[in-house]
Each structure stands twice: as C-alpha cells, then as structure tokens.
Structure 1
C-alpha cells in the first residue's frame, strides 16, 4: 500500500502548490470566468484549475513509473489513458482560453476516445440482469464506448455549477473505482484512481465554497474522461468481476440523474439542449439551502448513496438484488426531481442575486 500513499501525497502536494501560481497566471492573462445572472460569484474568477489537476496527474504517473516496478504497476492501459487524457486536457484548455464551438469540442472528445481504443478500451459484452452475458460486435462496442465516455464527460461538465460539487463528486467516484480495483487485482487502474484523487483533493482545497479558482472545461472534461475510461476497464472488462452492467450507471448516478433531468426538462420546454438554464439539481437545492456549502454537501450525500448502491450491485452478483436496488434508486431519483421541480425558477435567480449581494458561500 505504500506506493499508493506515496503517489497520492505527491499528486496532492503538486496540485496544492501549483494552483496559486496558475491562479495568478490566469488573472494576469485574463483567463477568467465572468459573473452573470446564472453564476454565484460576484467577481471574475480564474478558471485554470483543470490544468493544475492535469499537471499533478501526469507528473505523479511519471514519478510512479520511475520509482516503482514498471511490469507490475504500469501497462499499456495506463499509456492509453494518458494519451487520451492529454488530448482532452488540451481541448478543454483551448476552450477555456480561446473558446471552441460545440462541434469542435465534440470532435476533440472523439479524438481522445479513439486514441484509447488501440490500448484495449472497448466494450465487448454486457451483463444484463435475468438475461446474462450479451456479446456485442466491434462496431457496437465502439459506439457504446463513445456514448459512455462522451456522456460522462459532459455530465461532469454540467454539474460543475456550484463550488466544490464536481470535484467532490469525482473524488468519491474515483474512490469507489479505487476500492473495486484493489479488491479485483486491477493494480494499474488503482494507480490511476489514487493519483486522480490526490490531484483533485489538492484542487478542492481552493474550490470548496467559497471558491477562489474554477476547474474550467479542462478540468471537467479531464475528470469525466479518466473516470469513465477507468470504469470501462474495471467494471465492463474486469475478468475478476461478473457484475451487472447497470453498476457503472449507479456509480455515476448523480451526474447522470442531473443530465437526464436536464434533457427531459429542455425537451418539455422546447429548449435547445445546449442552452444553459437554472434548472439543475444544484441550482434548485441552492434556492432551498441559501448557501452553496449546504447544497454541495446535500448532493455529496446523494452521490454517496448512489455509489454505495452500485458497489452492492457489483459484489452481490444477484439479479434480484440488482433489480431491487435499481427500482429503489429510480424511486429516489424521481422523488428528488419531483420535490426540487416545485421550486420556481425565479426563486433560484433571486437566491443567486441575494448570495452575490451578501457574498454568502
């Protein structure tokens, strides 16, 4: 376990140390997130936190490669993740600095995914409750991988709406993947997870309410990419695990719930999907709690419940248990949406305005 602790500390300290430097660089270069009617912060804030996470991640992976047994802890899988992560980090950074159209950003995401495919990140089969293993051909497998990774990247981007939320959610998801990796002897994926946790934990020190820096698209896309790719190896391809394919959906349940509700809401309101609004779960919880910290912590709790249900499904390996948990979590999700849906949008806007005036985090 020493090497995991070592890599966590290295990643955490690098992130912790370089963020103030990048924050100053962002201020001087005017790479700032400007306040508007949808945002809590009153003053422009730097949005280069994602590049700090990326630097800490890649440096720590390189450090581990230098100091630990390469044949045991490092493999082609890690190389594939690093190549894809490098591409998506550059796409996100360019979007943060210069701006990208939705199409160009999507093409960048596809490029990052395709870069990982030669390293074995492909879905070859699905484990469906009460049905069993369903093998899929290479084309269907590729489409599933693209749908999964693009979907998760964008769900993480969408929940990055209040201080500390996306970072905290990712730490818990990566923590779950780390535990599953250890228990099923997926050592390389455990290395990826522990390094990511360290990098994001260092960032969260500056992003928890009240935030002094944001992760930007670079951070949100990078975190979504790494965790979704690791999930393919740990949950879809794991030879030591015979769990239902609904488990990954449960582990990523909170961001998936929020994005699913956003899609349904915008379809019902006849809005374009890419049009931002104040209807996300975090916006509505903010209208109730009046403080970002409370809203963030409440969503952390929902995140933990969803992750825990996914872990139970994984290790129970029982179709009836899976069905019960899926129905239970579906009911919770529907109840959460129905409860928060009653909050008028104008209340959220008023809440944000009041928070700005009072500078309450």
Structure 2
C-alpha cells in the first residue's frame, strides 16, 4: 500500500505545481480551442496532468526498494517501455501537431518494446483455433502489439469529461490489483497500486472542478500501462482466463470498436475522423445538458462532471463480474455480452431522444472556476 500512498502524494504535488505555474506555460499547455466538435469544457486549463501521473509512477518505482525486497527492475523496464507512447501524447498536448497515426506508431513502438524486453506477449486468448496461431512468435507479437496499442488509444477516446477516463481506469486498475493479489503476482499488483495512487492524485485536481486535464500524454500513459498489466497477468498466470482482459476493459474497448463501426460502416467516413457521437458526448448533450444556461460557466462545469458518473456505473457492468469471476470464461463472456447489450440499448434510446427518465438531471449547484482557468475566447 506504500506504492499507492506515495504515488498519490507525488502526483498531487506535481500537479499542484503545474496548476499554480500555469501562467508560465499556459500558452503551450492549455487548449484554448473550446468550440471543437469534441470540446465540452467551459474554460481552458493545462492539459498535461499526465505529467504528474508519470512522475509519480517513476518516483514510486525508484523508491520501492526502500521498503520492498524486490529490486523494482520489472517496474522500471515497463516504465521505460512506456516512454514512446507517453512522449507522443505529451508532444501533441504541447504542440497540437502530432497526428493520430504518429501517436498510434508510438503506442505500437512501446508495445513492441514490452514484447521484447519483458516478454509481455499473448500466447492465448482461450479460443483453441486462435491459440494455435498465437504460439508462433511473430504472430503472437503482432497480435499483442495491436491489442496493446488499441487499448492505449481506447483510453484516450473515453477521455472527454471531468473524471471520466481517470476514475474508470482507477476501477480497472483496482480489479487488476485484486486479481494479481489472488494469484500472487507481486509485479502486476504493485504497479496497479502505484497507478491507482498516481491517478487518484490527479482526480482531486480534475473532478468535480477541473484545474487540469489528463491530456493525450496522460491517456496514452495510463492506457499503455493498463494494457501491459493485462497482458502480463494473462501471460504469467495460466489460471487467469484471457477473457478477463476483455471483460474488465470492455467499456473503452467497445467504445472504440463501436465508434469505428459507426463512422466507417454506418456513415461511410474515415474511422479516425473525430465526431461528437460518442456515448459520453450524447449523454452530456441530450441528457445532462437539458435546461442548461450555456453562458453560465458554473452550470457547465457541474454538468460536465455529472456526465462521468453515468459512465462509471456503466463500466461496472463489465468490471464488477470480471473482478470476482476472473477464472471463469463463461461468466466473463456473459459479462462482456451484457455490457454490449446495455451499451447499445442505451445508445439507441438516447439517439432517438428516448432517454430513460432516471437519467434526467435538473439540479443545479454552484461551481467556481479554479485558479489558473481561463474563460473561453470569443
């Protein structure tokens, strides 16, 4: 638990410094374009919160030998493998000039490094016909790279509202840590606890009143570490069903797959073209935002944060069963299917303006813009 506590403290303090010094780096770190198709925030704040999470992870890993018998070499190697994915995201946060394809290549490079350095390669998905092919090393590495890069990008896709990606990933890391503890996998458990603490320190600055955003760097870093822990958990522990990874991370994974289907198949547009039709965006625009005074900064900030609560609950449809039935493929498959059904039914209902009554929010509460935040530029 010292991993969690130290990660939390360091992350909180680093982000405190980022927020307080925003006047010095705001011209680079803030996203002043608040009118884009996927922009739902009321004011500009630094979008480099991922720097605090990465710093907290690094400090905790280097300090771990002080209280643990383990040298921490495995954690350090994983941190080094994450550098390309994290760097690609942070550079985009600061310059706004790194294309999605380049960031995807960075994620693939990180995944390849983990395959080669940490032997983090999937050799089974608990489907006999597929597992036969995965035993061939080049195929196994290629499959793992695609899966890791896909989940890394998926976390970035769900990062659209205050606390949405951060709390969702905390729930997933908590599940990973529990399963790792159950199978005595100290490496995976210690990194999961570190990530829970580091992300937790960020959440206090991001929810419910945002003083900082996760940014692409933070989303890619968190997504990559999550994906690799799932790969390591399955590769190192035969008792853990490969379906556990799908069930526990089904929300970001299915959000990505459904977005590709919706854009490419339904609308005939490029799969990577951004739009405002993600489920979390629809929940905000057609449910949470009802009755909102668009010019009221305080209302907008509060409603933004309320949106995330719906998606946290939805993510638990997959996370909760996966946590307790991590060794039962049938239960894990059922949880995955149940999530897909709930997601699609909810999406269709909201698209057709038939949102369930229990989702409607009308309460208003005052929210004060945090220090360092900027109002939208007109």
Q: Give the TM bin, normalised by the shorter chain.
A: 0.7 to 0.9
Match of 2:293? none
1:157-168 alignment to 2 at 5 Å? 157-168=156-167
The count of corresponding residues between Structure 1 and Structure 2 is 338
Sort the Cα spacing of 1:87 and 1:342 in 2 relative to 1 into closer, same or farther, 3 A: same
Match of 1:10? 6
Contact persistence 1:80–1:115 (CA under 8 A): no
Contact persistence 2:85–2:103 (CA under 8 A): no
Unaligned runs of 5+ in 2: 290-302, 355-360, 371-378
Match of 1:59? 59
Match of 1:69? 69
CA shift for structure 1 position 342: 2.0
Q: Alignment partner of 2:174: what SS?
A: helix
Match of 2:104? 106
Between 212-221 and 261-270, the greater mean CA deviation after superposition: 261-270
Partners of 1:87 and 1:209 lie apart in 2 by 31
Contact persistence 1:184–1:240 (CA under 8 A): no
Unaligned runs of 5+ in 1: 345-350
Match of 2:251 among 246, 250, 254: 254
Per-residue CA shift, 1:9-62, capped at 9, x if unaligned?
A: 111011111212112444422110121144232332111101011001110111
Sort the Cα spacing of 1:70 and 1:238 in 2 relative to 1 into closer, same or farther, 3 A: closer
Contact persistence 2:155–2:223 (CA under 8 A): yes
| CA RMSD in angstroms, aligned pairs only | 2.5
Match of 2:347? 337
1:41-60 alignment to 2 at 5 Å? 41-60=41-60
Partners of 1:328 and 1:275 lie apart in 2 by 28
Partners of 1:61 and 1:255 lie apart in 2 by 27
Q: Alignment partner of 2:326: what SS?
A: helix
Contact persistence 1:89–1:221 (CA under 8 A): yes
Sort the Cα spacing of 1:87 and 1:63 in 2 relative to 1 into closer, same or farther, 3 A: same
CA shift for structure 1 position 275: 2.0
Match of 1:87? 84
Match of 1:347? none
Structure 1 residue 239 and structure 2 residue 249: aligned? no
TM-score, structure 2 normalization: 0.83
Partners of 2:23 and 2:70 lie apart in 1 by 40
Contact persistence 1:23–1:48 (CA under 8 A): no
CA shift for structure 1 position 279: 0.5
Per-residue CA shift, 1:151-172, capped at 9, x if unaligned?
A: 1111110111111101011100
Match of 1:348? none
CA shift for structure 1 position 140: 1.3
Sort the Cα spacing of 1:198 and 1:101 in 2 relative to 1 into closer, same or farther, 3 A: same
Contact persistence 2:317–2:335 (CA under 8 A): no
Q: Alignment partner of 2:276: what SS?
A: coil
Contact persistence 1:88–1:222 (CA under 8 A): yes
Per-residue CA shift, 1:224-259, capped at 9, x if unaligned?
A: 00000000011x21335142x222111111112221
Match of 2:115? 117
Partners of 1:165 and 1:323 lie apart in 2 by 25
Contact persistence 2:178–2:323 (CA under 8 A): no
Partners of 2:109 and 2:336 lie apart in 1 by 33
CA shift for structure 1 position 295: 1.6
Between 246-255 and 83-92, the greater mean CA deviation after superposition: 83-92
Structure 1 residue 137 and structure 2 residue 133: aligned? no
Match of 1:283? 281
Sort the Cα spacing of 1:270 and 1:133 in 2 relative to 1 into closer, same or farther, 3 A: closer
Partners of 2:260 and 2:113 lie apart in 1 by 29
Q: Alignment partner of 2:126: what SS?
A: strand
Between 23-32 and 143-152, the greater mean CA deviation after superposition: 23-32
Between 90-99 and 168-177, the greater mean CA deviation after superposition: 90-99
CA shift for structure 1 position 143: 1.3
TM-score, structure 1 normalization: 0.86
